A and B are shown apart, each in its own frame.
Chain A
Amino acid sequence: MTAGDADSAVQRHKASIPSLKAKDYKSDVKPVWCPGCGHFGVLAALTKTLAHLALPPERVAVVSGIGCSSRLPAYLAVHGFHGVHGRALPLATGLKAARPELTVIAAGGDGDGFSIGGNHFLHACRRNQDLTYIVMDNEVYGMTKGQASPTTQPDWCRSKLTPHGTGIRRFQPAAIALAAGASFIARGFAGDPNGLTRLLAAAIEHPGFAFVQVLSPCRTFRPEQQAWKQQVHASELGPTHDTAQAAELIQRDDGLSLGLLYEQRIPLYAAGVAADAADDLTAAERLAAIEAEHCR
């Protein structure tokens, strides 16, 4: 609690000030990220978003895999799970299926989500469960010291692992999400936390699988990404509900256009079917009926 919180005037106006309430969503664990890391912007935007949506912290869970960005849950005062590399989405899927009333957010980096966890990304898009997936994309593996990731340019030669560049084409997150059936696709920039807040709020409120790619520069291994600040621009596309139009524009896109690229309302994944309310059996009676199927 800060000194300001004790002030009665502050208390009275708390509900109106996003940056004050954002504190309620931060834990006291200090981030290990390098100073100047883009992920700080995502952390700030996410806490402001949760404050703006006034989601009770105990009703929110943030699930991650492994990597710099996957450290996120520990820095939040909500329920968190820092799992294994690449599996944030399945863990989030299981949690949401078991507890549909929770707001479940999966988060991680480009290597975690698009390489080792790539298969889960495809199927989470297809499944359209009511989840938000934030990928902090810095086109590099930071935690393992700067190797090329799926979104790294093929001619990027600064990793000792691929001294001649990877020579393979970049993974196209938005295009792949669209092809896999994602119902909400957005791209934000860590250097624009307020704009990112708007996208995250829309993503969390979207009923379905919402994918938000966040361009989040790596200070240490990709210093040239500091230029993103000047290069990003609003998407010419604007939000569209037309899959064919979105596909065409996302394919033409330079990867630095920001905004909500695509949104469609499609049926949610129907997990957690509640017991038939039409019968008035107790749970024990239902179980007894199942047991009786095998009795002769």
Chain B
Amino acid sequence: MSPPASDSVIESVAELLAHALELEYASQAHYEQLADSMDVHHNAEVAALFRRLAMLSGEHAAAVAEHAGDLTLPRIPPWAFNWECPDAPEGADCLDPDVSYRMTTAEAIAVALHNERRGHAYYVHVAATATDAEARTLAAAMATEEVEHVALLEAMLTDAGGDQQRPAQDDLDPPHMPA
């Protein structure tokens, strides 16, 4: 609803690290939710992919946490993070318009790519706008890492048969009534 004003900028390393941690944990939670959802809907292949992406996000989070060391991070309410967009750039866009229980691995990678590119864009934005020089440097380094993630996903996408849209398949069964 109300994106933070674009003039709300990162002012310290601690603030950046808090944002990075939130971003990675939200991303991890999002991928775990998608993996669970694909499990429930018997799409094992895509579930495994999202499970792997969740693990990667967890590892990123651990790396960021390690970087934080003994720094005291600010306590930020969920709605007060300085994202460029309404939601966390890499995670919590729960509407997932491109997600479906019948999605292919390639489609799932495309969803992940979208998220990782948003993450990258966020760090690039911070690297350019943070008022603290150290924060700008750190954000630039994080942006570089995100480039690697994006490259990894792009390679995976190629392996999975590329980005081309598969013709939509009809679900032959009507929606199901659980209870």
Contacts and interface: CB of A to CB of B under 8 A. Distances in A.
A–B contact, 8 Å CB criterion (strictly below): yes
Interface of B is mostly: loop
A6 to B, nearest CB: 9
Contacts of A12: 70
Contact of B81 (A38, A194, A220, A226): A194
Interface in A1-25: 2-4, 7, 9-10, 12-13, 15-20, 22-23
Contact of A220 (B26, B29, B86, B175): B175
Nearest to A146: B175
Contacts of B147: none
A173 to B, nearest CB: 18
B58 A3 contact: yes
Given A143-B178, A190-B94, A190-B95, A13 B65 contact: yes
Interface string A183-205: 00000111111110110010000
Interface string A169-193: 0000000000000000000111111
Contacts of A9: 62, 65-66, 68-69
A229 interface: yes
A67 B123 CA distance: 41
Contact of A41 (B66, B95, B97): B95
A52 B76 CA distance: 9
Contacts of A66: 179
Contacts, number: 164
A161 interface: no
Interface in B38-81: 38-41, 55, 58-59, 61-62, 65-66, 68-70, 73-79, 81
Contacts of B21: 13, 16-17, 20
B99 A195 contact: no
Contacts of B87: 191-194
Nearest to B94: A41
Nearest to A21: B25
A22 to B, nearest CB: 7
Interface of A: 2-4, 7, 9-10, 12-13, 15-20, 22-23, 30-36, 38, 40-41, 44-45, 48-49, 52, 66, 143-146, 188-195, 197-198, 201, 217, 220-221, 226, 229, 232-234, 258-259
9 contacts: A2-B28, A4-B28, A4-B58, A18-B76, A35-B103, A48-B78, A143-B178, A143-B179, A201-B77
Interface of B: 1-2, 18, 21-22, 25-26, 28-30, 33-34, 36-41, 55, 58-59, 61-62, 65-66, 68-70, 73-79, 81, 83, 86-88, 91-97, 99-101, 103, 174-175, 177-179
